[in-house]
Amino acid sequence: MRRFPVLFLFIFIVNVVFSQGAYRSFSPCSFYIELPSSVNAQNLNSYNSDDYCDYMVKLKDGYKFMEIHSLLKSRFSNTSVLALYNSALRSTDLDITYQVKGADFFVLSGYNSKGNIVYWRRSIGQDYISDMRIEYSKGRRASIDPIITRMSKSFYSY
């Protein structure tokens, strides 16, 4: 009788872990991110550059929900996290519902003028500054919200 609750708990944990799907490392240029196997990433440029790279990420059904941009730090006039964070706060058109600043990143999240959910993480690396910008409608929340945390926590710039 006592084995049933333990077995049930084990099956529950396994289902939670595996229901999130498999993730893969993605590091084509100057950033790193873990992407779920349920998405496709495409280079936005037809040529390679050492200065920058740009990627678009879509769900399997073709819905574009994320762009990743990375640019050499030397292209920015100020590269401190605080200066970039304050500049972003001044220039954003978001109705901000969440914001955080870390040692080498910041996050702004909220709603844009179209009513879409926007999540923007900027990571400041040794040589590059990289942005992960996710935008989606409220109707897509069930398919996108569960994958944002892992992607965001794994995202960094070189």
For residue range 36-91, what is the model confidence (pLDDT) as tens digits? Answer: 998 999 998 877 778 889 999 999 999 999 999 999 999 988 889 999 999 999 99
Give the per-residue pLDDT at 28. Answer: 84
pLDDT digit string, tens, across residues 90-139? 999 999 999 999 999 999 999 999 999 999 999 999 999 999 999 999 99
Residue 122 in 3-state DSSP? strand
Length of the chain in terms of residues written: 158
Answer yes or no: is pLDDT of 153 > 80: yes
**In 3-state terms, what secondary structure has residue 105?**
strand
Q: What is the pLDDT of residue 21?
A: 63
Which amino acid is located at 99 in the chain? Q
Structural domain boundaries of the chain?
23-157
**Average pLDDT taken over every residue of the chain:** 86
Query: 23-157 domain in CATH 3.40.630.10?
Result: no
Q: Confidence class of residue 14 from pLDDT cuts 50, 70 and 90?
A: very low
Question: Taking the model in full, what pTM does it have?
Answer: 0.82
155: number of CA atoms within 13 Å, CB side?
28
DSSP 114: T
